[in-house]
Structure 1
Amino acid sequence: MSFLTLTHVQKSFGPVQVVKDFNMSIEKGEFISFLGPSGCGKTTILRMIAGFETPSGGTISINGKSQQNLRPNQRNIGMVFQAYALFPNMNVAENVAFGLKVAGAPKTEIAARVKEMLGLIRLDHLADRYPYQMSGGQQQRVALARALAPKPQVLLLDEPLSALDAKIRVSLREEIRAIQQKLGITTVFVTHDQEEALSISDRIVVMNAGKADQIGTPFEVYNTPATRFVASFVGTLNVIEAKVVDPASNRVAIGDQQLTLRHSIAAFKAGDPISLAMRPETGSLAESAEGDTALTGKVVSAHFLGSVIRTRMDLGGSTISFDMFNNPGLLPPAAGETVTLRFAASDLLVLLD
């Protein structure tokens, strides 16, 4: 049986419906990321799980128990916010102990748990420091330890890394994931950063205008997006406008070039416009590259991005980008040069909405 279940959950603020008939079952110990742009409803769902917002409709249950009439402090949920929200007049140990003291735990139990949590986040040597004496990354680790100290059944994280610089974000997200796996705690993580969601999640919920456009593993969401929105929001994407030549044989035309798709287009008619999607890392310029499909065009520009070179190619009416690994011994193609990109037909996805 699923551990955390949301069934037909809705939320409206006045006439505006911000969450629309949301359904999801989360297994015990899963790490779920809600990914989407601002205003898509992801934080509202998190706040309804926590009890800070009341659903306009639907039910939320944890371990088979409805949370409908429970206040936030009755739900045994740990929450980490974007702002560190540490008590400035308390040192690290006192901040971590706060929830346990409120719950009336014995002093010996509190001391042992605080020591365990500070060891877990590797800050036991800073137990006597105050928040103003610590970096942002250290403060957020203390906030995480404070949320975990009372042994919550669910951990909620609301964009906890967005206030940190890029390098610290990467190391801290890996640390959060390692701690979550060690404790086996069911975790819901809200972010608008696709790299964060892809790198640490068991499953991703891609939110769009109050609903889930797709729920799947990072591999599924990236490689087989369910909608045009998911395809464009997760990762970098080329959208290529084409025309159907023969729907029975999956034949399409991109400018004056024709190719056969691996995906069925039987629902279209000859002459219909059709949108295709392709990731920039797809394909190669090497003549020996594996692939049953090719597109030829002229190079518009090549941009050096460190490990990769992103090249833009004109197909005669539409422009696509593709990535090449940086090879110090091989110059990238020059603007105006005619090149052929070889790739597998299955790498071209049909966008239906």
Structure 2
Amino acid sequence: MSFLVLESIKKSFGQTQVVKDFNMSIEKGEFVSFLGPSGCGKTTVLRMIAGFESPSDGAISINGRNQNALKTNQRNIGMVFQAYALFPNMNVFDNVAFGLKVAGKSKTEIETRVKEMLNLIGLDHLSDRYPYQMSGGQQQRVALARALAPKPQVLLLDEPLSALDAKIRVSLREEIRQIQRQLGITTVFVTHDQEEALSISDRIVVMNAGRADQIGTPSEIYNRPTTRFVASFVGTLNIIEATVIDPSANTVKVGENTIRLRESIGALKGGDKLSIALRPEAGSLLENAKGDTSLTGQVISSHFLGSVIRTKLEVGGNQISFDMFNSPDAVLPQSGETLTLRFNAHDFLIVRD
């Protein structure tokens, strides 16, 4: 049986419905990220799990127990916020100990657990420091330790890394994932950062306008998006407008190029328009590159991005970006140059709304 279940969850504020029929089952020990743009409803779902908001309809259960009627302090949930939310008048030790004191734990239990948590986050040497004496990354580690100290059954993180600089974000997200695996705690992580979600999640929920557009593993979300929104939101993806030639043969035309798709075109007929998608890293300019399909077009622009060179190609009215790895002898394609991009037909996805 699933550990955390959200069944037909809806949430409205006045006449505005911000969460629409949200369903999901999360296994015990799973790390799930809610990914989406601002205003898509991901934080509202998190706040309903925590008990800060009540669903307008639907049910939330944890370990088989309905949570709808329970207050936040009755749900045994740990919460980490974007803004740290540490008590400025308390040192690190007392901040981490706060939940344990509220729970009425003994002094010996508190000291043992706080030391355990500070050792877990690698800040046992800073137990006497106050929040203002610490970096943002250190403060967020303390906030994580405070959330974990009472041994919650679920850990919720609401964009905990967005206030940190890029380098600290990368190292801290890896630490959070390592700690989560070590403790085996069921975790829901809210973010608008695609790389964060892809790098640390067991599964990702891509949210759009209050709905879960797609739920899947990072690989499924990136390689096999099921809606136009997911295809355009996660990673860089070329959306190419094609014309159906022969539905029975799954052939389409892009400019002067004919492509036989692996995926079934479905009920469309010859002459119909079809949107197909291609990742920038899928193609190659090498003449001996493995592939059963190609597109020929003119170079619009080419940019050196460090590890990759990104080039835009005009093909039949479509602008197609493709990436190739940088090397010391790499030559940037020149504007106006005609190039052939080679790839495999299975790299194409049919984009359905």
TM-score normalised by structure 2 residue count:
0.99
Query: Paired residue for 1:29?
Result: 29
For residues 221 and 304 of structure 2, the distance between their equivalents in structure 1, rounded to whole angstroms, comes to: 27
How far does the alpha carbon of each residue in 1:19-48 deviate from its partner, in whole angstroms, 9 at most, with x for none?
111111100000000000011110000000
Query: Paired residue for 2:124?
Result: 124
For residues 32 and 317 of structure 1, the distance between their equivalents in structure 2, rounded to whole angstroms, comes to: 39
TM-score normalised by structure 1 residue count:
0.99
Q: Report the number of matched residues.
A: 353
Measure how far apart 1:61 and its partner are. 0.4
Measure how far apart 1:335 and its partner are. 1.4
Query: Paired residue for 1:240?
Result: 240
Query: Paired residue for 2:299?
Result: 299
Measure how far apart 1:256 and its partner are. 1.9
Q: Secondary structure at the match of 1:39?
A: coil
Q: Secondary structure at the match of 2:172?
A: helix
For the pair 1:67 / 2:67, whether they are aligned, the reply is yes
How far does the alpha carbon of each residue in 1:70-95 deviate from its partner, in whole angstroms, 9 at most, with x for none?
10000000000000100000000000
Query: Paired residue for 2:209?
Result: 209
For residues 132 and 252 of structure 2, the distance between their equivalents in structure 1, rounded to whole angstroms, comes to: 62
For residues 350 and 206 of structure 1, the distance between their equivalents in structure 2, rounded to whole angstroms, comes to: 18
Measure how far apart 1:332 and its partner are. 2.2
Name the aligned partner's letter for residue 147 of structure 1.
Answer: A
1:61-140 maps to which residues of 2 (within 5 A)? 61-140=61-140
For the pair 1:172 / 2:180, whether they are aligned, the reply is no
Q: Secondary structure at the match of 1:332?
A: coil
Name the aligned partner's letter for residue 340 of structure 1.
Answer: T
More deviation in 259-268 or 286-295? 259-268
Where does the alignment leave 5 or more consecutive residues of structure 1 unmatched?
Answer: none
Query: Paired residue for 1:8?
Result: 8
For residues 142 and 195 of structure 2, the distance between their equivalents in structure 1, rounded to whole angstroms, comes to: 24
How far does the alpha carbon of each residue in 1:253-298 deviate from its partner, in whole angstroms, 9 at most, with x for none?
1112211111111310111111111110011000111110000111
Measure how far apart 1:316 and its partner are. 3.4
Q: Secondary structure at the match of 2:37?
A: coil
Query: Paired residue for 1:285?
Result: 285
For residues 319 and 175 of structure 2, the distance between their equivalents in structure 1, rounded to whole angstroms, comes to: 40
Measure how far apart 1:136 and its partner are. 0.2
How far does the alpha carbon of each residue in 1:107-161 deviate from its partner, in whole angstroms, 9 at most, with x for none?
0000000000000000000000000000000000000000000000000000000
Name the aligned partner's letter for residue 208 of structure 1.
Answer: N
Query: Paired residue for 2:47?
Result: 47
For residues 266 and 98 of structure 1, the distance between their equivalents in structure 2, rounded to whole angstroms, comes to: 59
Q: Secondary structure at the match of 2:291?
A: coil
Q: Secondary structure at the match of 1:303?
A: strand
Q: Secondary structure at the match of 1:322?
A: strand
For residues 205 and 53 of structure 1, the distance between their equivalents in structure 2, rounded to whole angstroms, comes to: 20
For residues 317 and 235 of structure 2, the distance between their equivalents in structure 1, rounded to whole angstroms, comes to: 24
For residues 17 and 132 of structure 2, the distance between their equivalents in structure 1, rounded to whole angstroms, comes to: 40
Q: 4+ residue stretches of structure 1 with deviation over 2 A?
A: none
Q: Percent identity at matched positions?
A: 76
Name the aligned partner's letter for residue 134 of structure 1.
Answer: M
Q: Secondary structure at the match of 1:7?
A: strand
For the pair 1:332 / 2:332, whether they are aligned, the reply is yes
More deviation in 324-333 or 92-101? 324-333
